[in-house]
Each structure stands twice: as C-alpha cells, then as structure tokens.
Amino acid sequence: MSYYGNLRSLGYTHHRAQDEVTKIARTIILSEFSSLSEIQQVIIKALSIMKQARWRDLKKVSEGFLRRDIKDWTFNHALKQLINERIILKENEKYSLIDPLYSIVQ
C-alpha cells in the first residue's frame, strides 16, 4: 500500500500505480522464490496450477514436477515451512497459496 500511495502522490494514475506495484511485487516474489528449497519451490509451482489441493494430491503433483519420489518427512517439513512463512494456507485439510501473485512462478 505504501508503494501505491507514494506513486499516486507522484502523480501516477490509479492504473499506472497499480501496474507499477504489481511489477514491484513480482520482483519481490521471484527473489523470495529463488531463496526457497527445491521442494518448497516445486510445492508452490504445483499449487499455482492446482489452486487448492489435499496433501496427497499436492505431493503427487510435486513429485511429477521433480520426476522423482519425495520422502514424506521431507515433503511435510517443506510444506510446514511454507505455512509458517505465510506463503501457503492450510484450511479444511486443503492447501492453497495465500498470495495469488505467487502463481507467476509457474
């Protein structure tokens, strides 16, 4: 919001300020994404396509991206870290991305 407000105070139109804030957000998300583990990255990629998934389905799709099995403990650990970092939401035994901009990492 502060980026948007600053841009508006500089005379940007609503749409231009919104576009600029989206560009800034994408840059931040891609930077954050690159610092995540391989398993965390693939979980985000899977959810960006699936939108919402149960644990089992999310794990299968993630393994499909990697073209190898992932140990349950490893998958759970990566998933819990993403939940703790507020990137992923767990609700009613289903997982989804909190910020829709994370879908750009497909």
93 and 43 assigned to the same domain: yes
Number of domains in the chain: 2
Angle at 97 between CA 42 and CA 19, to 5 degrees: 105
21 and 41 assigned to the same domain: no
43 and 83 assigned to the same domain: yes
Contact residues for 52 (Cβ-Cβ < 8 A; gap 6+): 94, 95, 96
43 and 95 assigned to the same domain: yes
61 and 91 assigned to the same domain: yes
45 and 90 assigned to the same domain: yes
pLDDT of residue 40: 96
pLDDT of residue 61: 97
Contact residues for 102 (Cβ-Cβ < 8 A; gap 6+): 29, 33, 44, 47, 48, 87
Distances in whole angstroms, Cα of residue 6 to Cα of each of 1, 33, 67: 9, 26, 45
Structural domain boundaries enclosing 9: 2-33
Beta bridge partners of 89: 96
- Angstrom distance (rounded) from CA 70 to CA 23: 33
72 and 55 assigned to the same domain: yes
82 and 42 assigned to the same domain: yes
Q: What is the pLDDT along the chain (106 residues), one digit of tens a residue?
A: 588 888 889 898 999 988 888 888 888 888 888 889 999 999 999 999 998 999 999 999 999 999 999 999 999 999 999 999 999 999 999 999 998 777 776 5
Say what the pTM is: 0.81
53 and 92 assigned to the same domain: yes
7 and 26 assigned to the same domain: yes
- Angstrom distance (rounded) from CA 68 to CA 45: 16
9 and 50 assigned to the same domain: no
